[in-house]
Amino acid sequence: MATLNHLCYCNTHNTFFPKLSPNSTLFNTSTNTIYESNSSKFTKLKLTCSTPRLNHIINHANNSCDQVSTVEVASENPLKVGIIGFGNFGQFIAKGLRRQGHNVLATSRTDYSDYCQENGIEFFRNVDSLCEEQPDVLLVCSSILSTETVVRSIPMHKLKPDTIFADVLSVKQFPRNLFLEVLPPGFGIVCTHPMFGPESGKDGWTGLPFVYDKVRVDQNSAQYQKCDQFLGIFETEGCRMVEMSCEEHDRHAAGSQFITHTIGRILSHLNLESTPINTKGYETLLQLTENTVSDSFDLYYGLFMYNVNATDQASQNDLLMLIIENLDRAFETVKQKLFGRLHDILRKQIVERVPLQGSPPRTKESHPAPLFLPNAEKMNSLSSFAIPPLQHQNSDGSALHSEETLFPSPR
């Protein structure tokens, strides 16, 4: 019988499958539990691991060598990840880091110490105190508008010389250029963009795209391994990993992201409400609205202002005007098509006396002609549309047709 002495260095959500021969027995000394495999159908036993302390585990055999089953779990030391900017998105990312068993440090202008204490995260009142802990990765989760101020205020001298800097901004060339300008040469730079957020990723990250660019990572040092370990967190969570340059990302984002947020914010002003008979398309619009307005306006503004595909203020204004003009033109086209068809239908109803599709045929008795139109059979010429003069009566009730009545003189 093999003995399982300890399960170490893996997250409680991770599992491994030691290969056991049929009819073998595994004994856990910490819980005095016996696991048996009595059939070839159960040659793999699924074991849930507790928080690890060693790099591998070994099953020791009691006597016979042919009964020895050795299981080795290749495991890395947990990363120490510092998050600067612990708002809604920072907390969202921290949950994924914690699920993978990594140590999370956080700092923010707002005091989140109670939240961090409840979720196993170490909170620091300022960035200086966090940097003194020398995290392996420093993840910038501040808003686009405040990122430069935040990065320039970081005490670089307190960090390890191979610290990896990463960001999660929705534009990529701006933080890349900022990091290259401000950070010491030995610091690693990884620009990332999780293409999801607390709303779209609330049910898990499986299949959601995660874009990254290894801007500067030393391949001949432990920095490269830590970088892969950091990216592996998102891969293990099920993200669809997309390696893409910052330039290419921003080219795509200039159109797709900005137009998505614009439409979502327009819809938010329509006060759309859910109904008992929502279609899939309407559900999509509601979800788009909810996802968009949950983000700050700074994010929306930053998607436009900090996408360096528009290289100066003039071209940024031109780009904004072009997008708005295209939206106006598209809306006007749809409006013309809609009202053009309505005009055709109304014209047929009024002029040709054609009933509205699906309505019962009109009868003369139940639906008399409008006062301003004669009956259809009397429409012989344009004179049919002439408005008859007012009839004035004499004192005896007879009609008075004087020239003064028909053509009154001006008063």
Burial class (CB in 10 A: 0-12, 13-18, 19+), 205: buried
Phi-psi region of 353 (alpha: psi -120 to 50; beta: other; left: phi over 0): left
pLDDT confidence band for 393 (50 / 70 / 90):
low
Judged against a pLDDT cut of 50, whether residue 23 lies above it is answered with no
% helix, strand, coil for the chain, step of 5: 40, 15, 45
The dihedral over CA atoms of 113, 119, 120, 126, expressed in degrees to the nearest 10, equals -30
Stretch among 88-97, 102-111, 305-314, 382-391 having the lowest mean pLDDT: 382-391
Q: Has this prediction a pTM greater than 0.85?
A: no
Residue ranges of the domains in the chain? 2-67, 80-248, 252-336
Compute the mean pLDDT over every residue in the chain, rounded to the nearest whole number.
Answer: 75
Residues 274 and 158: their CA atoms lie apart, in Å, by 52
What confidence score (pLDDT) does residue 326 get? 84
What is the architecture, at CATH level 2, of domain 80-248? 3-Layer(aba) Sandwich (3.40)
What confidence score (pLDDT) does residue 294 get? 76
Q: Are 78 and 12 in contact (CB under 8 A)?
A: no
What confidence score (pLDDT) does residue 58 get? 36
Instruction: Give tens-digit pLDDT for 45-103.
Output: 434 443 443 333 333 334 333 433 333 333 469 999 999 999 999 999 999 999 999 99
Mean pLDDT of 218-232: 96
Q: Are 2 and 68 in contact (CB under 8 A)?
A: yes
Q: Are 4 and 57 in contact (CB under 8 A)?
A: yes
Q: Are 191 and 215 in contact (CB under 8 A)?
A: yes
- The residue type found at 137 is V
pLDDT confidence band for 398 (50 / 70 / 90):
low
C-alpha distances (whole Å) from 348 to each of 340, 343, 351, 362 are 13, 9, 5, 14
Q: Are 106 and 87 in contact (CB under 8 A)?
A: no
Mean pLDDT of 20-24: 46
What confidence score (pLDDT) does residue 297 get? 78
What confidence score (pLDDT) does residue 14 get? 43
Instruction: Give tens-digit pLDDT for 327-373.
Output: 888 889 988 888 888 877 777 777 766 565 666 665 555 445 444 44
Q: What residues pair up with 411 in beta bridges, in sequence order? A: none
Concatenated DSSP letters for 91-108? Answer: HHHHHHHHHTT-EEEEE-
